[in-house]
Structure 1
Amino acid sequence: MADPITYRPKTADIPTQPGVYRFSDAQGRVIYVGKAKNLRNRLTSYFQDPANLHPRTQQMVFTACNVQWTVVNSEVEALTLEYNWIKEFDPRFNVMMKDDRSYPYLAVTVADEIPRMVVMRGARNKKVRYFGPYSQVWALRDTADQLQKVFKVRTCSDGVLRRAQAQGRPCLLGYIEKCGAPCTGKISLAEHKEKVAELCQFMSGKVGPYLSELRSEMKAAAAELEFEKAAKLRDNLQALEIVLERNAVVFNDGTDADVFGLASDELESGIYLFHVRGGRIRGVRGWVLHNEYGETDAQLLTTVFQQVYADAIAANNLEKLDAVSVDDLEHLPTNAIPAEILVPIEPAEKAVVEEWLSQKRGIKATVKVPQRGEKRTLLETVQKNAAETLRHHKSKRVNDLTQRGQALEEIATYLDLAHAPLRIECFDISHLQGTDQVASMVVFEDGAPRKKDYRSFIVHKGSDGHPLDDTAAMSQILTRRFKRLVAEENGAVGADEDGYLLASGPVDPLTGRPRKFSYRPDLVVVDGGLPQVNAAAATLAEMGIDIPVVGLAKRLEEIWIPEDEYPVILPRTSAGLYLLQHLRDESHRFAITAHRKKRSKTMLRSVLDDIPGVGPSKQKALLTHFKAVKHIQTATESELSEVAGIGPALVSTIYRHFHPEPGKLDT
């Protein structure tokens, strides 16, 4: 039995969206499937103190060796996907839906003379069409009730039907118009069977045309002032929309499609695939690929298609293919190539790829990039799962102690360091065309992020009042960071230009804890190429600090060493390269976050903020009176004095701010 600690995912790695999760044993068999409104909250509950778990749950988590999850858009989609997987994998610990009663289904007895819609369990009958399964009987009965309002098909038992035929009058449902009453001839048997066919077609996923027709009829009835008929049609539309939500239809036209998501960085790509059959999600796959040098996402998609569809079965004879889903809908199996393949970008040599897919399929197959609608919405969900797959893969690598140790040793070897860099600091600059410049300092210790030591800096402008270029900005930030280090190491007293108190000694005598910047890094990494590295090395040399400095260029993941003409190239599968890339990406993310925060504050500033004595309350009073800043700028002193709470001295200050005396520069 496995200890849950050995496979417990890091809490921060688990998404907070709705989704479905699977626990697997050492042989890869799925032993439990569950759904959650918040995946993080649910999954972390399994890894608490085992003594607090239910005995069966405790047995499950100790039997499992792995846990995976799939993000979906809503709880409804999670509900459907959960029970489809329970039926597919037959997990041993899912007892709730494995009782003697089996799954509840919506069944239509299409072979009867007067077909009937009914909720069924148990053994299947080839002469009956089944739709479902449903997680709860109440949900299924509610769905059946909504469908009956629209299609008015028979739901009564055979005994009630015979009695109504003998008496010549319908049952209560016929009187209240929830049934077409074919038993008494209110509608013909042909009309009733037509309604049953429409019901089966709707439940099979062919809902788009039917809903469009209902909307057209509703608008036509309203145009002809038949408001009662229009209201009934409106109610029917609302009832069918409820049914669609219950069944978690992702494509209303019953489309068969494969939807690919792709999330890439310079070294690896996360791939995720949704198999949509009959308008519903029938299966998912997620995996990670190593990228080759110079390979674009478009080229990678072509490679993915070759891997996924190399052994796909032909689909040119659809009637010979049996549905493989648990609800027996008529659609392609998931191992066949569908008519549509939805992707986030067009693959390289799209025409060639489509021709190859069409030959494999036997009939035409197309590759599309959806731009709007339900297909675009589903693609965005798959993209989220692809990004989650890549992020989880990278975090597992970082959390692996063996990998981290190997990565640090490789970095020391390739960079010719005296020892493994146990503390690495990475710096990055972020701005928007020179405005709102900020810098980030990200710290990794023992190969893992140490987020409480992260720092962000506001980059000061140059002496001429203009923003600094990236190399000058990097030099400024390194100077400020390492001045503090030197001050704390040497026990300086006073304050620097940022107002930072330079207390004596590296340790706070009150708490006994190290001060903010008292740790000396073993390696400094800057985001950039040779110019940035040379500037950083020169800055440290001027301060008399001997710490190795390298730069990581984003395009080819080259490692630049000061004054070296050629970069160091680590193998693409090197653990050291993965660590440096993670460090650089984390620094970039932290810098962008700080930049956006600063830019948001800047956008909220007003010209009134620069007037001495005019705080938020005075600004509110001025804007309430004048309605706009431009009116305040052009107002006279007498007009300004009319504002409540603005005294003569402040009136003069505001007026002089917008109307400086000739020859004087307003500051």
Structure 2
Amino acid sequence: MADPSTYRPAPGTIPDNPGVYKFRDQHRRVIYVGKAKSLRSRLSSYFADVATLHPRTRQMVTTAASVEWTVVKTEVEALQLEYSWIKEFDPRFNVRYRDDKSYPVLAVTLNEEFPRLHVYRGPRRKGVRYFGPYSHAWAIRETLDLLLRVFPARTCSNGVFKRHGQIGRPCLLGYIDKCSAPCVGRVSADEHRDIVEDFCDFLAGRTDALIKRLEREMLAASEELEFEKAARLRDDLNAAKMALEKQAVVLGDGTDADVVAFAQDELEASVQVFHVRGGRVRGQRGWVIDKVEETDTAGLVDQFLSQFYGDQAEMAEDAEQTGSAVPREVLVPELPDDAEAVQDWLSGLRGSRVQLRIPQRGDKRALMETVQRNAAEAFAQHKLRRAGDLTARSAALQELQDALGLDTAPLRIECTDVSHVQGTDVVASLVVFEDGLARKSEYRRFAIREGKEGGDVGSIAEVVRRRFARYQQEAAGPVDPDRPGIDPETGRPRKFAYPPNLLVVDGGAPQVAVAADVLAELGVTDVAVIGLAKRLEEVWVPGEPDPVILPRTSEALYLLQRVRDEAHRFAITYHRQKRGQRMTTSELDQVPGLGQTRKAALLKHFGSVRKLREATVDEISGVPGVGRRTAEAVHATLASAGKEREKS
């Protein structure tokens, strides 16, 4: 545990100007980024008595080894620089308001030739337009089912779309007029895109024009005695109106606002956002985050607005999508200290004036109270579901430090696991946990080369040797002091830039011993090694005859199990991928001119490549679709491959 006084800047050297600051750890990695109106006042607060600091702040300043700052002219510049640095360095002590992947959204793949409408969960992708998020996936499907009568756009997967294009017949939705069937050419790509764009306009709130157009067309068809067409348009009109009714009208028409509310305690905070477009609630989302430092509601508002809308604007494809992501009005429970700067920054993102204000009365105040109730309810549910998650993680790290006799808490844990089937397709995984949470961007996988002869022990030795030899190689190479995790020659992230505090191997005493031997051989002395045996969940330490037994209900054991299970999952996934690649290749791939269809027909007819190899040319040519010349090529290729195997 570092002493903050060892890197505290000399008195009077910190400027009394607005700016952005970075805390770095002993490996020069950025662990926290912040902004301040006065750098001197803000940074001085971090070097007060450690015992008086917020628990998370205390952990941050004792993990850091240095602090640096950049002076800017205005608070708007500070906002922009802080957001850029958080995106670039991804500091582990900064709160990130990432979209919760459990929230389903309606995605429209505008980046495809024939855009698709579908339910989606996960990170946002460029070229795809999203509507929502909705509270339940069934709500999206219900709305989509209603609107497909009016906007018969494609909803099938790429595989289904391609298959029906090959067979020349549409799917059931095409027959019941809930899809315009672009797969079989009923509409062109441009016509289908027009349908999709009308659908997007409708969900974006531009509904009046569509309703009026349907009414005009229905009346015109009725006057021309085209009653069947008029009935169809009437049903389309009813479907559109039903979809509108499902979105509650809460504010006057034309209102374009986001309503933000918080519920919090000393360690965590819950945030809820209602997106109101055209006076209707179009979506809702929420997060529960760990508080990095002691922050009031105004501070939470400041953090949330800069990160959330920065990400939304970055994901937007054009000015229109940016305008949809950043509304004309943002309603908050309290204004941040730099409200004017935040308002100017939001206006710059949108390209027009954005108002940031507290609703005082009327419908907007009532809606704010509703959002606050949702935030409080989500916070209460979170507390029931995960009682003191931050506290539990901190307790787990402290218990590991005490049980293993480590100098510091293992803030970075790496775990390796080996996967194979009877010694074939041997692979290994390396997963990374920081502060008790998975850091998937730093996961690595290995195809075992030399170590497979030694079984799991040999494989573990190879993984540890390759991982730490690469770390030493990167540590000895050129380093950019401002971006230590980036290779200055290639501009790409270094794969093994940072060592763990604790290395966990899946296994018992033999696996732990070989990992410790490899580290000693490489001269790595500051990494602790343990093994977690599956049978009794024993923790093995190098050189100790007996394992360490952690209590079954201890947070430390839960953390080690999560780390081990994640390494196992990652290794199994890679092994299946490798095995699948091997099993899908065969000697038939070498036959010139033999496509997948005839290859499948041959394997189905003979049952295996071995039986096909024993067949004559006449027997092979008897398979439907296989001519004499192709049969001769198959027979010659398989015979040649058999001779090569005999030689080897």
TM-score by length of 1: 0.38
Higher CA-based Rg: 1
